[in-house]
Amino acid sequence: MKKAKAKTAKARKTRPAKRKIAPKKSAKANDSSLQARLQAEFSEAVKSATTYVGDPERLRSLVNEAAKKASSMPRDAFKETWAYFQAMLRLVRAYYRGEYRDVPATTLVIIIAAIIYVVNPFDMIPDWVPALGLLDDAFVLALAVRRTRNTLDDFMVWETAAM
């Protein structure tokens, strides 16, 4: 009888099934996942940017908003892309004023998309998050600069010659 009670007591003390623990993702996998998400969000900004190209008033408003935001942004998060971001703003300003049109349409859309992304406070990492809020903006700007560097360099040469 003692054995039967022991088996019953043992049966009541059933252990939950062991959970399988998923292996931790490597930092490299997390980085590529983050980059993929950022590129997807940038693609959405590109779609939005196409609606700005033919509307000088919207472009003016966007550049003014971006310039205002840029004046309060810490530049250290952007390192070498900061000068290019400023050039993007000047190029779009010269474009909507009709002063400079030597920019391929696809390149202009990428530049406008980068500006839209930076201006948007509710992007992938909200800008108000301390120490992280501007990292996604910096990544998107670096991506846009890689794609538009030649056009931006040409614009800056034109700008210097026009002065």
pTM of the model as a whole: 0.72
Banded pLDDT at 68 (limits 50, 70, 90): very high
5 in a structural domain: no
93 in a structural domain: yes
User: If we measure between CA atoms, which residue out of 123, 116, 118 comes closest to residue 62?
Assistant: 116
151 in a structural domain: yes
Angstrom distance (rounded) from CA 153 to CA 141: 15
13 in a structural domain: no
67 in a structural domain: yes
144 in a structural domain: yes
Region 78-95 average pLDDT: 93
pLDDT for residue 79 is more than 50: yes
Structural domain of residue 42, as residue ranges? 38-162
Q: Give the angle subtended at the CA of 32 by the CAs of 132 and 34, to the nearest 5°.
A: 35
Q: Look at residue 126 in the predicted model and tell me its pLDDT.
A: 62
Are the beta carbons of 109 and 50 closer than 8 angstroms? yes
Q: How many domains does the chain have?
A: 1
8 in a structural domain: no
Banded pLDDT at 122 (limits 50, 70, 90): low
Region 57-74 average pLDDT: 91
Angstrom distance (rounded) from CA 147 to CA 16: 54
24 in a structural domain: no
Q: What percent of the chain has pLDDT over 70?
A: 72
Q: Calculate the CA 94 to chain-centre distance.
A: 24
